[in-house]
């Protein structure tokens, strides 16, 4: 596996002073990169993206990059120090692993027992009071549904269409019922009823509500 040129970066939050040590291989877009650590990203979300960025160096060999990253991580104790937002040592290659290899695996969530500030509060005591709804101006998806406002059939779902097996004129209450009797899938019968296929499961099928079928059955 080839090694992509990598930049090691030190971020310092202008407001809080919190630091983060990271790396990026997208050197041509380095000025857009803001770090990718879980704790660090939460910190930016809370305090804003006002950062000073220092470039520790550019590396074109894996060994040199890894050594520089680990040496810096250990020298500044970025995992244990409250000054740094890193949860693991930066090795210049990858981030925290998944599952048991993740540094937070098995640790309780910091949100356990934390009550949402708006729960149980009404009126002006609710922090959402007076704020516009997030759904304001958005189209009601259900407004365009053909069945909107109509009573739903027993069992829910759209009303079933009756289908007829052309050969013997047997009528079924639904495509599902016809498929069970034919021992096949519903999709084939549906395509046949829609005129996309001529036969399905060895038979011809049509919707029983079609005028020409009703005439044939009279």
Does residue 41 fall inside a structural domain? yes
Reduced to 3 states (helix: H, G, I; strand: E, B; else coil), residue 146 is coil
Does residue 113 fall inside a structural domain? no
Q: Is 43 left (phi over 0), alpha (psi -120 to 50) or beta?
A: alpha
Q: What's this model's pTM, rounded to 2 decimal places?
A: 0.46
89 and 167 assigned to the same domain: no
Element housing 203 (H / E):
none
pLDDT per residue as tens digits for the range 27-76:
888 888 888 888 899 999 999 989 999 999 999 999 999 999 999 999 99
10 and 93 assigned to the same domain: yes
Does residue 153 fall inside a structural domain? no
81 and 168 assigned to the same domain: no
Rounded to 5 degrees, what are φ and ψ at 6? Answer: -130, 140
Could you list the residue range(s) of the whole structural domain that residue 188 is in?
A: 163-217
Using CA atoms, how far residue 143 sits from 126, 140, 149, 156, in Å, is 30, 5, 9, 18
Q: How confident is the model at residue 102 (pLDDT cuts 50, 70, 90)?
A: low
pLDDT per residue as tens digits for the range 132-165:
776 666 655 555 555 555 655 555 556 788 999 9
Q: How confident is the model at residue 215 (pLDDT cuts 50, 70, 90)?
A: very low
Number of domains in the chain: 2
Q: Which two structure tokens, joined as six digits, stand for 16?
A: 């809080």
The residue with greater pLDDT, 216 or 101, is: 101
Does residue 201 fall inside a structural domain? yes
Does residue 26 fall inside a structural domain? yes
11 and 84 assigned to the same domain: yes
Burial class (CB in 10 A: 0-12, 13-18, 19+), 20: buried
């Amino acid at each position: 596996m080839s090694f992509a040129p990598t930049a090691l970066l030190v971020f310092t939050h202008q407001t809080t002073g919190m630091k983060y040590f990271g790396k990026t291989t997208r050197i041509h877009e380095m000025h857009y990169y803001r770090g990718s650590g879980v704790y660090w990203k939460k910190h930016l979300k809370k305090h804003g993206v006002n950062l000073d960025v220092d470039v520790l160096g550019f590396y074109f060999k894996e060994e040199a990059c890894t050594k520089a990253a680990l040496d810096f991580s250990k020298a500044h104790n970025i995992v244990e120090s409250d000054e740094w937002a890193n949860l693991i040592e930066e090795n210049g290659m990858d981030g925290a692993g998944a599952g048991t290899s993740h540094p937070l695996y098995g640790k309780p969530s910091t949100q356990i027992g934390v009550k949402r500030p708006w729960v149980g509060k009404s009126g002006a005591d609710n922090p959402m009071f007076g704020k516009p709804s997030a759904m304001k101006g958005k189209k009601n998806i259900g407004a365009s549904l053909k069945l909107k406002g109509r009573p739903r059939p027993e069992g829910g779902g759209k009303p079933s269409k009756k289908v007829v097996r052309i050969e013997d004129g047997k009528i079924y209450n639904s495509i599902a019922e016809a498929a069970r009797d034919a021992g096949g899938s519903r999709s084939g019968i549906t395509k046949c009823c829609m005129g996309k296929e001529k036969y399905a499961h060895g038979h011809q099928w049509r919707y029983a509500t079609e005028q020409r079928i009703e005439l044939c059955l009279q």
